[in-house]
Amino acid sequence: MKAGIIGCGFIGNELAIFIDKSKELRLIGVNDIDKKKANDLVKRLKNNKPKSMELNDLIKKCDLIIESATKNVIKEILSNKNLDKSNKSLLIMSTGGLINNFNLLNKIKNCRIYLPSGAIAGLDAIKTVSGRIKSLTLTTTKPIKGLKDAPYILKKRINLEKIKTGKVVFEGNLKDAVNRFPQNINVAATLFLASKFRNIRVKIIADPDTKFNTHEIKAVGDFGEINAITRNMPSKNTKTSYLAVLSAINILKTLKNNVRIGN
C-alpha cells in the first residue's frame, strides 16, 4: 500500500519511521508547508526515500493518506477531488478540524476514513451508548508547558508561570474548546464523533505539579455511568500525548487484519 504523510512534525516523523520498517506499507510522499521539515524527515529514513510532494499530488498518488499536520488542513484534504476513491484511505490525527467541516466529511462515500482513539480510553463504550447519553463531560489536565501559546491563553493574557496549583483556565462547550485550544483538545472532537452528543462540556486545567496529560470522561444516561481516566506521558511535543502516536500506529498495524477487537 502506497502511503503519504501530510505534516512532518513529531507525529509525522514517528509514523514515517514505523512505515519505513513495514512490509505492508511503503511511504512514497511527504508534505509540509515547511519544506525543510519534509526534507529532514526524508533524511531520517533508512529503507525508503519518499519524495516531497504538493498536497494534491500526494493525495492523487497515495492509497493511504495520513494527516498529522493541524486542523487547518482538514478542509483542503476533504475537498480534494482525488480523495473520494474506493482504493483510498485517510487517517486523520487532527480530529478537531472535522468539527467545522462535517458537510465535507458527510460527502465522502468511497474513501475509508480512520480516526484513532488518540489520547483517551473508553471510546468503544461511548459509541455503544450513543443516542442514550444525558450528560457528557471531558476534563483535561495538562502541565503548564502543554498549554503554552494556545490561542485562548494568549487572548486572555493568562500568565501560566504564575499558576502555583491546579487551576481551571477554560470551561465551556466543545466548539469553543476546539477553536481556542486547537493543538491541545483533539480528544474532545474525537469524543463527539464517537458519542454524537452535542452538549459536551469541556474543562481544561493547567497544573504546574503534574507531568501527565490527563483526560477524564464521564458519561451519564439510562445505561448508568461510564467513567474513563487516562494519564498520558507527553511526547517530545509537549502538546501531544505519546499515546496518540501509539494509537495511530495501531491502526496502521491492523489495516489488513481480518479479526478486529471492539467497535
Could you tell me the maximum CA-CA distance found in the chain, to the nearest angstrom?
A: 54
Give the DSSP H/E element, type plus range, for residue 136: strand 133-142
Helix (H, G, I), strand (E, B) or coil at 123: helix
Is 76 noted as a catalytic residue in this protein?
Answer: no
> DSSP class of residue 71?
G
For 172-228, the DSSP string reads EEHHHHHHHSTTT-HHHHHHHHHH--TT-EEEEEE-TT--SEEEEEEEEETTEEEEE
Tell the residue number behind the cell numbers 498518488, with chain if given: 61
Decide: 151 and 182 in contact? Cβ < 8 Å: yes
Decide: 64 and 1 in contact? Cβ < 8 Å: yes
> Would you mind telling me the total number of residues written for the chain in this entry?
263
Q: Which residue out of 60, 88, 180, 215 is catalytically annotated? A: 215
> DSSP class of residue 159?
-
Tell the residue number behind the cell numbers 494556545, with chain if given: 150
Catalytic residue numbers read 215
